[in-house]
Structure 1
Amino acid sequence: MTNAYESLPAWAYYDEGYFQKEMEAVVRPAWQLVCHQNDVPNVGDYVTLDILNERLVAVRGKDGKVRVFHNVCRHRGSRLLEGNDGSCPGRIRCPYHAWTWDLEGTLVNVPYERDFEGFDRADHFLPEAESCEFLGFIWARLKPGGPSIEDQFAPYLDELSRYRIEEMQPLGRLTLRPRAVNWKQIADNYADALHIPVAHPGLSGLVGNTYGMEVQGDIHKMWGDVMDTRKDSWSTKLYKSLLPKVDHLPDHLQRHWCYYRLWPNVAFDVYPDQIDFMQFIPLSATETLIREVAYVLPDDRREMQAARYLNWRINREVNAEDTAIINRVQDGMASSSFSTGPLAKTEVCLLDSVRRIREALPKELGERG
């Protein structure tokens, strides 16, 4: 009988056959964040998302609506729009044979159309993925059905609404960071509070012993308060001293940090000065792409600009430390000496992750143990 306080087996972090089944059962049915509405402010602006061999693109139409299309030509399957983002004012044109759609997905031009016997443009509408807009973000999922994004975020909607997320603008460009590890290594690491004082002196210096965590529904939440500690680095000390008051936030959120993970692979780091979005894109059993960008409210104060730079600097240090950690863990999973490990009862987010995967794949995990 499986122990509820035991990790997933090591092979679940590198077995390719199991990975494919996990993607179908766990990731494909989940909501994925494509972009913020302010990433595509103008007609024809677009942002792409490639995940599990699906090519998606969010495009703002002439009617002002943002639609999420499959970014694939209906003729020969060519990718239509290139890059992470861009603009195609007016129309979406295939670079291979020039089939062309309007921004609402209607096929409007086919060269040599008379040569296609029995051809009807209406049969070749650009297909849409299931999508919605929530908290100012454009979401899509590959397998329709399941809970709405509003229901999933319901336990924390009042908290998140205080940050005026719908009004935020991207701070810089979307970044893609490849990692030679299983996607769960990254997701597990972000949900692991026990390693903070050991592996992250900077982060530990920022929040001290205020780190907490909980699970409500499909959301894993972690938090801490920015406070004075003896572990301060110069970056954290300056960040604390320069971070200005944010008028629309109540006093208890002026120095408060929260991490919200929407199961299984979308997360937000929420600070008074900005929100960092992260998405863990599985590529293979041992390869993952971290997709991330920060969002901010317009604020020209010099103190705020400096605080945001320091926030970025602190996070880069933490990311470098995390990269070293997850590489060590991924390497260790292949050892014949390791099969599973114990989980503490306080590790509520990790325990919930393991439970969800076991429930999604009981046969696959039960057969091999």
Structure 2
Amino acid sequence: MSGLEQSLPAWIYSDPGFFERERQTVFRTGWQVVCHVNDVPNAGDYQTLDLLGERVIALRGDDGTVRCFHNACRHRAARLVDGSEGNCGHRLVCPYHAWSYGLDGSLKNVPRWQGFEDLDLAAHGLKPVEQEIWRGFVFVRFAPGLPSVAEMMAPYEAEIEPHGFEDLQPQGRVTLRPRPVNWKNVADNYADGLHIPVAHPGLTRLFGPTYAMEAGTWTDRLWGDITEAPSSNWVERNYQALLDSFDHLPPEGRRRWLYYRLWPNLAFDVYPDQVDFMQFIPVSPTETLIREIAYVRPDARREVKAARYLNWRINRQVNAEDTVLIQRVQDGMASSGYVSGPLGPSEVCLAAFARRLKAQIPEAALDHAPKEAA
């Protein structure tokens, strides 16, 4: 009998009952990134995150502190702010009944004519969400469970340090890319190394044989070193020629692309020229929103701007290739001829992801969905 580990079973990539188990366990206890503190530089600036019925607002206070609250009025639960970002001035005012809140979340005023003279204002401030700010990135979670983000990323602090995460500035806005696939297929593809030489010719030209990965307890690390041999593709070749411009990094870091996948649904792409996060937001058993944005160091040099543009060109092609691949897998999961498959010795991140999910939801080890009790 083969000693290889097996991939997760196909049924959990479309089953509504399993998706609900994930919502209640994996996603209530998992850390979710909302934004970077530099996305909300001024008092009243806010960023929002919607996830499986939870709505969060990250808000910069008058005192300069960034706080996270549920985006719901304490009166009748009306959503307080719309859109992904904005500025509310010095008060958050509910558009339903005009209850108003300070930027620290405290309830400041209820219109007198509504008859709430005896209401304890201090007891009806906005509900805070547990948060952690790690190297400038604002995270939230809805129930305790996982270690802190700092603990999850601790093994990689030394190589992250030179990139100066705390000083990063947003490059544009958050984009949302809908995909008709289960979130786990997006996460699996991100940490699948075997498809790189098969389906990503551009990355293969750039990395050569250097692409590798390792699985941590809660975070997987992947990396590839950009070769010095000029690529036959002009975009890649020009990008290669600009990498020595990033002299804030040690020489070995100027040519290294780093990827970190944090359990359950977040990835950081750390390039010499920029840092992206990619969040796999589950919408339904077969729908996912890929939420992403790039951040950069303040640097107005032409060669730096050129490198960022070329990076975008390279990764736009990679994303297009991955979109097709992930859809192929999601389609194949519906086949009665597939249950699960063997994982090769190098597929350590896929195996680690499967073990984490099985630890939180034991049914993930079953080949088929359990029959409902009569």
Equivalence for 2:164? 164
Q: How far apart are the structure 2 equivalents of 1:367 and 1:7?
A: 10
Mapping of residues 86-125 of structure 1, within 5 Å:
86-112=86-112, 115-116=115-116, 118-125=118-125
CA positional deviation for 1:27 = 2.0
Higher mean displacement: 85-94 or 225-234:
225-234
CA positional deviation for 1:195 = 0.2
Equivalence for 1:272? 272
Equivalence for 1:297? 297
CA positional deviation for 1:367 = 8.2
Cα deviation 1:303-327 (Å, max 9, x = unaligned): 1111100101111110010000001
Cα deviation 1:193-212 (Å, max 9, x = unaligned): 00001111111111111001
State the AA in 2 paired with 1:163: H
Cα deviation 1:288-344 (Å, max 9, x = unaligned): 111100111011111111110010111111001000000111011001111111111
Q: How far apart are the structure 2 equivalents of 1:367 and 1:302?
A: 54
Aligned residues: 369
Report if aligned partners of 2:9, 2:364 keep a CA contact under 8 Å in 1. no
Change (3 A) 1:290 1:135: same
Q: How far apart are the structure 1 equivalents of 2:60 and 2:351?
A: 40
CA positional deviation for 1:275 = 0.6
Q: How far apart are the structure 2 equivalents of 1:336 and 1:363?
A: 19
Q: Give the TM-score, by structure 2 length.
A: 0.95
Cα deviation 1:68-108 (Å, max 9, x = unaligned): 00001111111111111111110111111111100001111
Please state if 1:285 is matched with 2:285. yes
CA positional deviation for 1:119 = 2.2
Higher mean displacement: 118-127 or 132-141:
118-127
CA positional deviation for 1:117 = 7.3
Cα deviation 1:119-152 (Å, max 9, x = unaligned): 2222211000000211111111111343112111
Change (3 A) 1:329 1:363: closer
Mapping of residues 133-212 of structure 1, within 5 Å:
133-212=133-212
Change (3 A) 1:3 1:68: farther
Question: What RMSD in Å do the two structures reach over aligned CA positions?
Answer: 1.8
Q: How far apart are the structure 1 equivalents of 2:130 and 2:353?
A: 25
Change (3 A) 1:311 1:122: same
Equivalence for 2:78? 78
Equivalence for 2:318? 318
Report if aligned partners of 2:230, 2:237 keep a CA contact under 8 Å in 1. no
Mapping of residues 248-267 of structure 1, within 5 Å:
248-267=248-267
CA positional deviation for 1:157 = 1.0
State the AA in 1 paired with 2:152: Q
Change (3 A) 1:289 1:210: same
Match of 1:254, SS? helix
Q: How far apart are the structure 2 equivalents of 1:9 and 1:366?
A: 7
Q: How far apart are the structure 1 equivalents of 2:246 and 2:295?
A: 15
Please state if 1:306 is matched with 2:293. no
State the AA in 2 paired with 1:296: V
Q: How far apart are the structure 2 equivalents of 1:71 and 1:351?
A: 37
State the AA in 1 paired with 2:338: F
Change (3 A) 1:4 1:75: farther
Match of 1:162, SS? helix
Report if aligned partners of 2:69, 2:127 keep a CA contact under 8 Å in 1. yes
CA positional deviation for 1:41 = 0.5
CA positional deviation for 1:228 = 4.0
Change (3 A) 1:2 1:47: farther
CA positional deviation for 1:118 = 4.5
CA positional deviation for 1:33 = 0.7
Q: How far apart are the structure 2 equivalents of 1:84 and 1:2?
A: 49
What residue ranges of structure 1 are gaps of 5+ in the alignment? Answer: none
Report if aligned partners of 1:5, 1:343 keep a CA contact under 8 Å in 2. yes
Change (3 A) 1:360 1:2: farther
Q: How far apart are the structure 1 equivalents of 2:195 and 2:367?
A: 32
Change (3 A) 1:252 1:212: same
Equivalence for 2:329? 329
Report if aligned partners of 1:107, 1:124 keep a CA contact under 8 Å in 2. yes
| Identical-residue share of aligned pairs (%) | 56
Match of 2:245, SS? coil
Equivalence for 1:361? 361
Report if aligned partners of 2:30, 2:145 keep a CA contact under 8 Å in 1. no
Higher mean displacement: 80-89 or 139-148:
139-148
Q: Give the TM-score, by structure 1 length.
A: 0.96
Q: How far apart are the structure 2 equivalents of 1:208 and 1:287?
A: 34
Report if aligned partners of 2:340, 2:367 keep a CA contact under 8 Å in 1. no
CA positional deviation for 1:256 = 0.7
CA positional deviation for 1:230 = 7.6
